[in-house]
Structure 1
């Protein structure tokens, strides 16, 4: 036995790459490819921040159905299979099972159809077993589900389980029985030759403490047909997923970040998704802006990272704990450095896309508060650069979009120490100041507009002096400045998010774009988060070598703004190839292996999907390949 220190066992986060999900926010069902739930840690029926069902399995004549294929949309799946226990002895399957699962917000319906292709009638004994288990989402994510105690009562032909707050109703058109927290529905179906027969089970999920609910309006426009079959398939699937992920917290629709762990409001994710989708939905932009403005910070609170004018990071029903990482996030958490400038950017771009000036005027107090945060709180050291550091001791160590603890590294792989000033956050702040000035001009505040144009120009000058580095014969912007003001000199995709923001000159933008399309960055499947020749690179690192589709999409969008169409098309073609390989449902991220190393993109096994901003990346890709 070695003397190596063994890590403390905090459970293992469930892997997702082999599971199938059907969803309509805030409800989702995860199963295997045959439709059964319970064989993997991720399996279950979730509603909001809780899992209600840990298992749901079908047996016909006491045997599992043998799967033959699945037809899938965002909110509906039909699992096709055969039941040989009640079939004849010929080689051709004559008894088919169609198991249709549909999910609506707060509800799941399971319809099992027996199709008898035999020449004689059959009797099908069906059994569906439901394992009730109400457990907080964070405990499932940690790999240590902690079910709460539940009580049961009969309600007519249904059974209801409750923990005293949340409730689960199980109903069936067959006979229901219960053994502890396991409920069994049984049917005996007589099916004539050439006929069909159905059995139906339904679940109802209720949580009166939910902080977000389903969007009443799930409209998102469609991209025009491109003539490219793969691009059009991706467009249809992405739009369908995005519609299924829309939520409302009382101020209009916004996109949940992603399934399964982030089916709620995330400032950064929801803003970026709404911005990418502006050509398809102005209503989504307005709903996102209003929802976040209603929860804008008003006080200084180190425990939640709240500050006056700051836009929140995450909204939950209760404290969200990540065992083993030392992270414990309060229900309303403001630990993000970029959501506030991104809110201003979205407001400006939505106005440019047709948001009425009257709506901008209504949001003016939130605009002025957000601009005030850039000036008064975003740069606590007085350097003029937006910086972050976790002051609570239990929050996120990194508070940009690359929010894992090891994401900000030097070229030799060393992890930078804070307070951190990320390069793309300075670009977002510059863009926000310029956009805010245009909005103030439109609102009749010429003096305020002058102030913020000058602020943006000073940011450009500061950035040029502090962030650019020369390493190994290459000149490029560092990912960040560390707490001592030193450039963190790894080459990362962050520099791509400077494009089209007004931070760089045309020559600087062209220089960055040329670097991003070389094979060290452009993997053949999309843009790596870190160049493959850096000391911290690893293809399965969450933020230091993987490919994030939304990141590639934002860079493509910036390239188009900067007039760099050839480079945009290079990355767009790669991401389209990847989207087709994933059946049009791009995951949160995937491995950074090159197209030469792997003939298909390699999954990052814990990657969420669908992910709103990954789906929204189809919009800049479509523009790059069709304009």
Structure 2
């Protein structure tokens, strides 16, 4: 082998060999005699030794480490006691799994995305997990936010897809990288989710000094959203990295009802909802801490909502629904899909529009949870990754949105499906499972992570939803509006700031809460009223 055989890579001659450097920072060094002129007589031999050393690039300072101690909630984990033992066991298993998935970065805890494939920090996954798990306390959200903020984008890099203000999609140690760079920013939704997660963590009691320390990152994240001024928040993707960059990130995950793949740039409906919510809640944070710019982001959000209303709605003669996305030609990507559920409760839709969405979600209900795509679509496959399978976190996001939007009956039906599905998996919900009808037991997806972080976080999220729990520490208020139909239900060790609350719903739907810190009040609506 001669060192000049690969002219495509930068080559560095060394005293004892040669080194090549790849475009992503990988280095390969050959040590020893790489070529020789040898004359051998019959029966003679020649031996040489070449040592190959591969040095992957690294993310400065990043290496997953065990958490510095037990989970913040370990001494008093969230518990549920109800008339349905399956729910009680689902919550216990999910809380335990979240503790088992904890890792740390410079002492800040976050949840690894899932075992066995994704035992590292994923922006979108970690943020959603922290949001769904807020009844366990604000500490997981705070640690996740700080860990991600350390690598918020500062420049433009076409290889890693970094951009100023952008939150990473995933980070890996250099020696664990495969086909993606060790730090990769190919996510269109992690950045708005970062802002929303901080705002919600503050409502659940994250101290103001910790919130204030992250406000510069919030301002940079909002500025990234602002690069889409007058446009929808979209992505182009990359054929050699991730072509789709929302949570449905498989190559065929975004397609028209006739099976055609959406041509980029793609503007996902749920990303517009996250971005609207980030702009509004980000503005509230700026106001709360006396920082400028709030009015700009409220105007930005209002403009986005108006344009969404004009462009995304599909008129199918049955009330209409928001498209999955707009494709690169500005055409709606049609077909009813679970993206709909992520719009609820974000503020992007009017109450009348939320009612239309709530009315369409049952079309996706397998009986075990929401299918990711309607069976009427050409690409539907119940055992696909994103085209008909059921993702528990996807369903619980819709459940939370339905409760916030005032549609508890639909939420209750979906919650019962998830509780029933969990029993088929030993009460541990996997990353995803088959979208077959409930006439058959849930079908495992062959390579699903289990445990998986946002699937485990379904457990505390169900507690939030079934209690209709709405916490707002800065306003001094805790509200409960229990979902009817679940009988007696008690939840203990709900962590709000430094306080530990208990809530109970009796057989008549009357709710009580105890353990409120001084200065906080409750607002309670009985189930069914």
| Pairing 1:184-223 to 2, within 5 Å after superposition | 211-217=63-69, 218-220=71-73, 221-223=77-79
2:127 matched to which residue of 1?
A: 271
Q: Structure 2: how far apart are the matches of 1:472 and 1:605?
A: 38
1:587 matched to which residue of 2?
A: 430
Residue-by-residue CA offset, 1:361-406 (whole Å, 9 max, x unaligned):
1111111111111102xx3xx6421110125x42100000000000
Gaps in structure 1 of 5+ consecutive residues: 1-162, 167-207, 323-327
Q: Structure 1: how far apart are the matches of 2:130 and 2:174?
A: 26
Q: Secondary structure at the match of 2:191?
A: helix
Q: Structure 2: how far apart are the matches of 1:428 and 1:624?
A: 19
User: Per residue, is there more helix in 1 or in 2?
Assistant: 2
1:389 aligns with 2:236: yes
1:513 matched to which residue of 2?
A: 358
Q: Secondary structure at the match of 2:161?
A: coil
Residue 184 of structure 2: which of 329, 333, 337 is its match? 333
The TM-score, its normalising length taken from structure 2, stands at 0.75
Q: Secondary structure at the match of 2:121?
A: coil
1:563 matched to which residue of 2?
A: 406
| Pairing 1:148-547 to 2, within 5 Å after superposition | 211-217=63-69, 218-220=71-73, 221-318=77-174, 328-376=179-227, 379=228, 383-391=230-238, 393-445=239-291, 447-471=292-316, 473-518=318-363, 521-547=364-390
Residue-by-residue CA offset, 1:186-214 (whole Å, 9 max, x unaligned):
xxxxxxxxxxxxxxxxxxxxxx9971111
The TM-score, its normalising length taken from structure 1, stands at 0.63
2:492 matched to which residue of 1?
A: none
Distance 1:165-1:219 versus aligned 2 partners, 3 A rule: farther
Q: Secondary structure at the match of 1:329?
A: coil
Q: Secondary structure at the match of 1:363?
A: helix
> What is the deviation of 1:293?
0.6
Q: Secondary structure at the match of 1:526?
A: coil
Gaps in structure 2 of 5+ consecutive residues: 1-51, 468-481, 483-529
Q: Structure 2: how far apart are the matches of 1:441 and 1:213?
A: 36
Q: Is the 8 A contact 1:256 1:262 kept in 2?
A: yes
> What is the deviation of 1:348?
0.5
Residue-by-residue CA offset, 1:384-440 (whole Å, 9 max, x unaligned):
21110125x421000000000001111111111101000000000000001001100
Distance 1:580-1:360 versus aligned 2 partners, 3 A rule: same
> What is the deviation of 1:320?
6.5
2:505 matched to which residue of 1?
A: none
Q: Structure 1: how far apart are the matches of 2:215 and 2:328?
A: 34
Distance 1:429-1:319 versus aligned 2 partners, 3 A rule: farther
Higher relative contact order structure (alpha carbons within 8 Å, sequence separation ≥ 6): 2
Distance 1:583-1:456 versus aligned 2 partners, 3 A rule: same
Q: Is the 8 A contact 1:251 1:290 kept in 2?
A: no
> What is the deviation of 1:244?
0.5
Q: Is the 8 A contact 1:319 1:330 kept in 2?
A: no
Q: When the two structures are aligned, how many residues end up with a matched partner?
A: 409
Q: Secondary structure at the match of 1:254?
A: strand
1:610 aligns with 2:435: no
Residue-by-residue CA offset, 1:551-571 (whole Å, 9 max, x unaligned):
001111111111211111110
CA RMSD across the alignment: 2.0
Q: Structure 1: how far apart are the matches of 2:260 and 2:126?
A: 31
Q: Secondary structure at the match of 1:452?
A: helix
Q: Structure 1: how far apart are the matches of 2:375 and 2:282?
A: 37
> What is the deviation of 1:229?
0.9
Q: Is the 8 A contact 1:251 1:291 kept in 2?
A: no
Structure 1 stretches of 4+ with a deviation exceeding 4 A read 163-166, 319-322
1:122 matched to which residue of 2?
A: none
Q: Secondary structure at the match of 1:269?
A: helix
> What is the deviation of 1:291?
0.4
Residue-by-residue CA offset, 1:265-285 (whole Å, 9 max, x unaligned):
000000000000111121101
Q: Structure 1: how far apart are the matches of 2:380 and 2:191?
A: 30
2:512 matched to which residue of 1?
A: none
Q: Secondary structure at the match of 2:92?
A: helix
> What is the deviation of 1:319?
7.2
> What is the deviation of 1:474?
4.4
> What is the deviation of 1:549?
0.4
Q: Secondary structure at the match of 2:320?
A: strand
